[in-house]
Amino acid sequence: MRGVTALLRRELQRYWRRRGDALQAPLIFCLICLLFPLGGVPSPEHLARYAPAVIWAGALTACIFGLEALYRQEMAEGWVDAMLLSAWPMPLVLFIKALVHWLFTGLPVVLLAWPMSRALYFPAEQVSAILYGLLLGTPVLVLLGGIGAGLTAGMGRGGLLTSLLMLPLYVPVLIFGAGCGVAAHDGLPITGQLYLLACMLVAAMFLAPWASAAALKIASESS
């Protein structure tokens, strides 16, 4: 347990020291959300209709960009190899890393989604539906993304490849996450979508760290 807190503190410090880098992902999220009105018809009814899709497209992109920072430096510094050699259970280590990564890249996106939804004229009383969807969905994106980031960790520049590998796998999260917003916009209940997202989150929390550990192990074999 002391090890867990030590690791948690190390991760928090790492991200805090480079908080400027961590801010890039939420900034990209805002930019993407603001590009859509410029590229389309900026009328309130159109924007409100597409707001969930825009917000989620932004969240997916921001998450994918953020994944770069997940293991790349650790891999280069030899931290991954040291961890693999140590008695630490790798899935637990990666779970903690994913958690801290989400705190610094996912949570800001969830918080920024509130002003962004309003900027897209999404009805104020329904915004919570988008936020709940993101709150349950973005950790799934980070956890799943850990697998892709692990597979490409050994490469010089695998960012583009990570998105190619991961985006198809993000489809279910996108459907139910954005589905929350769409259903709320139409005045329908959103509990079904939220339950399914929660289900995915539990499954991802349980399974994804194991898959990420296997991926990192494969990636570290060459070096």
Is residue 165 at the binding interface for other proteins, with CB under 8 A as the rule?
yes
Query: For the chain, what is the radius of gyration of the CA atoms?
Result: 18
Token output for 14:
């790492």
Q: Is 121 left (phi over 0), alpha (psi -120 to 50) or beta?
A: left
Helix, strand and coil content of the chain, in percent to the nearest 5, comes to: 85, 0, 15
Angle of helix 90-101 relative to helix 2-17, nearest 10 degrees? 40
Distance from C-alpha of 149 to C-alpha of 142, rounded to nearest angstrom: 10
Q: Which is nearer to other proteins, 22 or 59 (CB)?
A: 59
Residue 27 makes contact with other proteins by CB under 8 A: no
Q: Are 26 and 112 in contact, with CB atoms under 8 Å apart?
A: yes
Site size with other proteins, rule: CB under 8 A: 29
The only residue of 53, 169, 198, 205 in contact with other proteins, by rule CB under 8 A: 169
| 204 and 210 Cβ atoms separated by less than 8 Å | no
- Using the minimum distance from each CB to other proteins, give the nearer residue, 133 or 179: 179
For other proteins, the binding residues in 93-152 under the rule CB under 8 A are 147, 151-152
Shortest Å distance, C-beta 24 to other proteins = 24
Nearer to other proteins by C-beta: 34 or 48? 48
- Work out whether 215 is an interface residue with other proteins (CB under 8 A): yes
Q: What residue ranges bind other proteins (CB under 8 A)?
A: 147, 151-152, 154-155, 158, 161, 164-165, 167-169, 171-172, 175-176, 179, 182-183, 196, 200, 207, 211, 214-215, 218-219, 221-222
